Amino acid sequence: MAADRTIHFVSLGCPKNRVDTEVMLGVSGLEGYRHVDDATDADVIVVNTCGFIGPAKEESIDTILGMSQLKESGSCKTLVVAGCLSQRYPEQLAAEMPEVDHFLGSSDMLKLKDVLDAPGRAPRMLVGNPADHTIRATDPRLPSLGAHSVYVKIAEGCNRSCSFCAIPTFRGKQRSRPIDDVVRECEMLIDRGATELNLISQDTISYGRDLKDGTELAALVQRVADLPGAKWVRLFYLYPETLKPHLVDLIANHPKVLPYVDMPLQHASDRMLKIMRRGHGLDRQRKVVETLRKNVPNLVMRTAFIVGHPGETDADFAELCDFVTWAEFDRVGVFRYSPEEDTRSHAMEDDVPAKVSNARARKLVALQRPISRRKTKAMIGQEVEVLVEGGSEESEFLLRGRWWGQAPEIDGEVHLANGTAKVGELRKALITAAADHDLVADLADEHGELPEPPDGPRRAPRKPRISLRTIA
């Protein structure tokens, strides 16, 4: 393949999708394609779609249609659609989008090679069975967040049967990777400069159960965290089960496992948790939160809730609000229920009117916002370790980074003043100002020395806009 062939990727949806896109980036590199940031300069455009809920599907379709216009106005000759949307609706998309040249499913990243080997001659429909592939350390992959911070997908699919979720129908049943394979990938990523390893899957707490050989999450976390070169190890998408003591101990005491817990709870009313088929009630959720608060010093806990699910009453929503007030989570994501075919909820009666669902979402965001703001402002005057990530969009005189309580692309940033640092460095900083999500800090020098406190408070960073689908 000629070296001057260019390719552009659009990755939509969750971090798991980002990993899939990074594998396709690796495939394209092996095929001699050069990645370009500007889609108008690309010979091949790949849109990796999300098909989780209505708004995500709409964004995917709009993006595909937008990219398809570049087949006339840009240099694009081949348009490829990959990911969850094409896995979920292959025939419909193929019939309604003649401008798309090739379709790949949610586990067909390696098939991009077939397209790039023979543009225009490879089969148009390359959507396979999602169960046929699980990511491996040997798969080509080019991290896109920067070499210092990476997501590591430890399993594919999901065995849960939550009433509102269609993911098992197009991502397949859970398929955990062997511990040795995950560790091998982490070693390779560390060799390329990674210091933050974010372990992720659809149902992380269930990691290893499908292997039926005694493999469990705590053993994996221990192996990864003990790797030389790993600095921060973060866990995403823990299900609210009774947490095993070994895992809690790692989160609480291992110097590299961050005391950051991402645990989407979805609701807090016993009645709604049963309707949602979550497999537990409010009592378990309270005990999990209490266990973590009691045993994990400096815990940062992030969760998400769905409002407006069929059957949700004012009383159910009031219970949810009471729980959020009691739990005092650091961050909360609020999602309005999206009716999805192939789910149990889709056939349920007692739909909640959109007006009511919207009002509940706004109320829950408003309830959580002062809790998050209070916790953020309480950090003023604290010294924290910050991962430096580059220049700040706030000012050419500032750097940006994240302290360990901020997950990449999710929880805001720290704007760093009064110092210089290299991207990827972990440096001490003193928090001097705070907004709802972002922080301002003075950067310590390479010897760890902090500058003298400023005369008066620094200006807080520009307040970010908050929508009902962002962190509250």
3-state secondary structure 223-280: HHHCCCCCCEEEECCCCCCCCCHHHHHHHHHCCCEEEEEECCCECCCHHHHHHCCCCC
Pick from 445, 403, 438: nearest CA to 421: 445
Sequential pLDDT tens for the chain (472 residues) = 445 899 999 999 999 999 999 999 999 999 999 999 999 999 999 999 998 888 999 999 999 999 999 998 889 999 999 999 999 999 999 999 999 999 999 999 999 999 999 877 899 999 999 988 899 999 999 998 888 999 999 999 999 999 999 999 889 999 999 999 999 999 999 999 999 999 999 999 999 999 999 999 999 999 999 999 999 999 999 999 888 999 999 999 999 999 999 999 999 999 999 999 999 999 999 999 999 999 999 999 999 999 999 999 999 999 999 999 999 999 999 999 999 988 999 989 889 999 999 999 999 999 999 999 999 999 999 999 999 998 877 777 689 999 999 999 899 999 998 888 899 999 999 999 998 889 999 998 776 677 665 554 444 444 332 222 222 2
**Domain coordinates in residue numbering, the chain:** 6-130, 149-375, 379-466
Residues composing the chain: 472
Alpha helices in 80-136 (DSSP H): 84-88, 90-96, 112-117
Whole-angstrom Cα distance, residue 15 to residue 236?
10
3-state secondary structure 122-142: CCCEECCCHHHCCCCCCCCCC
Class of 6-130 in CATH = alpha beta
Contact 166, 340 (CB under 8 A): yes
State both tokens at 19: 């990993």
Q: What share of the chain is helix, strand, coil (3-state, %, to 5)?
A: 35, 20, 45
DSSP code, position 387:
E
392 phi, psi to nearest 5 deg? -85, 140
The answer on whether 321 is annotated among ligand-binding residues is no
The answer on whether 76 is annotated among ligand-binding residues is no
Residue 134 amino acid letter: T
The answer on whether 186 is annotated among ligand-binding residues is no
Contact 82, 44 (CB under 8 A): no
Whole-angstrom Cα distance, residue 250 to residue 243?
11
**For the structural domain made of 149-375, what CATH number should be given?**
3.80.30.20
pLDDT of residue 72: 87
pLDDT of residue 324: 98
Whole-angstrom Cα distance, residue 317 to residue 81?
39
Query: Which residues have C-beta within 8 Å of that of residue 27, sequence separation ≥ 6?
Result: 109, 110, 112, 113, 116, 140
pLDDT of residue 115: 95
**For the structural domain made of 379-466, what CATH number should be given?**
2.40.50.140
Contact 153, 203 (CB under 8 A): no
Q: Where are the beta strands (DSSP E) in 295-449?
A: 300-307, 331-336, 383-391, 399-403, 414-417, 426-434, 439-443
327 phi, psi to nearest 5 deg? -75, -30
Give the SS3 label for residue 424.
Answer: coil
The answer on whether 14 is annotated among ligand-binding residues is yes
Is 464 buried (19+), middle (13-18) or exposed (0-12) by CB count in 10 A?
middle
CA distances from 409 to 48, 162, 163, 187 (A): 18, 26, 28, 23
Which contiguous run of DSSP H or E holds residue 327? Answer: helix 314-327
Whole-angstrom Cα distance, residue 70 to residue 45?
9
State both tokens at 402: 């994240």
